Structure 1
Amino acid sequence: MDHLLITLRLGEQVRQRRLNRGLTQASLAALAGITRQKVIAIEKGDLTVGMTAYARALGALDCELSVVPATMPTLDEIQGIFE
């Protein structure tokens, strides 16, 4: 599986969790001790974001990272890779 797709999926999951908790990007950044720009980069699946920033954001959302078998990409995900 393409590494870009993995970070895109993780970013979307972080975004959805943040929205479900009623948090803004700025409030998540404050809770996590990172910048709002870093939260934006995480949610976009930016490949330059380090694991520490992901760990801080996930911790602030009361989440953890889990390794699971990859699923086939959706048509929307495939289209997003080529844009």
Structure 2
Amino acid sequence: MDTTLTIILGIVAMLLPLVVGRLVWKRFDKWFGRNDQAYMDSLEYFLKKIGFTALVAFILLWVGISLVFNGNGAALA
């Protein structure tokens, strides 16, 4: 039962950053767009948008995986 729960929580921990990253990507314009279409079409804005989305997703992935697998390595040894 412990292995099954670890697998299910691991899958959730890997899929949750995808969902949250998609929400951040869609709502980034509303949060940081400044209602300036020329600014929102610039490379600088796109790099900020992709960087912030990746940062949020990777932090969430790191926290989720570390919570799922915290202490399970000692049980396998």
Structure with the greater alpha carbon radius of gyration: 2
Q: TM-score, normalised by structure 1?
A: 0.30
Q: Which has the higher helix share?
A: 2
Q: TM-score, normalised by structure 2?
A: 0.31
Which structure has the higher relative contact order (CA within 8 Å, separation 6+)? 2
